[in-house]
Structure 1
Amino acid sequence: MTPDLFDHGDEAPTGREALAPGALVLRGFARNQAEGLVAEIDAICARAPFRHMLTPGGQRMSAAMTNCGPLGWVSDRRGYRYQAVDPDSGKPWPPMPGAFLRLAADAAAEAGFAGFVPDACLINRYEPGARMSLHQDRDERDLSAPIVSVSLGLPAIFLFGGPNRSDRAERVLLLHGDVVVWGGPSRLRFHGILPVKEGAHALLGRQRINLTFRKTA
């Protein structure tokens, strides 16, 4: 049975769900930390507000984003890259909160990737209708480290494909507090998010927030 997209209560599922070798969903892993995480996100956004970046082709990205940590991911007509300075303010990105670092390390260890220390956290905001097309995370120099992705707020359908864009993508419902980790043989799999459906979440309202932790170098 397909879970109710708007059931975010204490009865939401917990546990581990394997997606592929080196990839799994940790159901509800971040749920108990959500209020603290959202408070940290608000503080980060006060210093580095959400913005809609442009693709190298000049298209406005559907999801708004910002960053925290030593490096931030940016996109504009010059391409995709990591840099230490927020291009909007000319200042360093806000530091990565300790709660973020602990959550990322704990989730990675739970998935079999001990010792994960991210140096970049991408914070994406999806309002209803926002999406993320299939893509690979391959701008990082250290491809031995996993990706850790935390879902907060509205539910979303996560697309988890194969090493080629044309490979069939599995559809995975992600609820508030779920964490997806993929690395090793799954590190370069294509993935994305289908358009987020209209709704209201008790903590975040009409939005989904995604934290994506990466080790770039």
Structure 2
Amino acid sequence: MDFEEFLSNFRLGETVLVEYSACSRPELLFYDIVTYSKLPIVVDDLVDSLYEYYVRLKLAGINVGKLENIKVIKTGGSKNVGSVIGKLELGKYIMNVGEYAKVMDKAGKPPFTNLVLGIHKLIFLGSMLENMKLLKMLSDYVGNESRVAFYFLNRDATEKFSPAILALMEEISTSVVLLEGETIIVKKAINEDMLGERIPLLKP
């Protein structure tokens, strides 16, 4: 299975958990999805995670021009990349689904590929109650056919901080993929034919 076939297997309404190891390069997977998605891109930038990806891609000599026009919902942080269509306070992002939906309406006509960067940062900042509300919000969006969502999460850090939250996120998600080095491994999928597949990242 090549990368474009891999991407095409995800259905509208899916929540895909992208777990990456601390020594992998999630910015490359992010860039590949932006490049090959057949749907418009909306990025949830949590605490300047998009800026971190942008800088690492630029340092690697990759053309980051296409990232400068993507639609972005920004939560926390101060460094803007892309076309920011709305900003949310950290607490409100976790608790106020209605406010988030209003900002998403500014993105245009769905469906979208929704890339959520730095979800683990919200987990680290939140209390147990806030994290449970965050999980409830993620669960409520499963099946929402206005998007295919990819949540990028540092697995190494999250597993040390809260194994229970990690396990619940895996349970909620329709699909779970692990980025090890430059290889994507499918751990869970609605399409069972994908289970165990190993897909190499494309080189920009």
TM-score by length of 2: 0.29
TM-score by length of 1: 0.28
Structure 1 or 2: more strand by fraction: 1
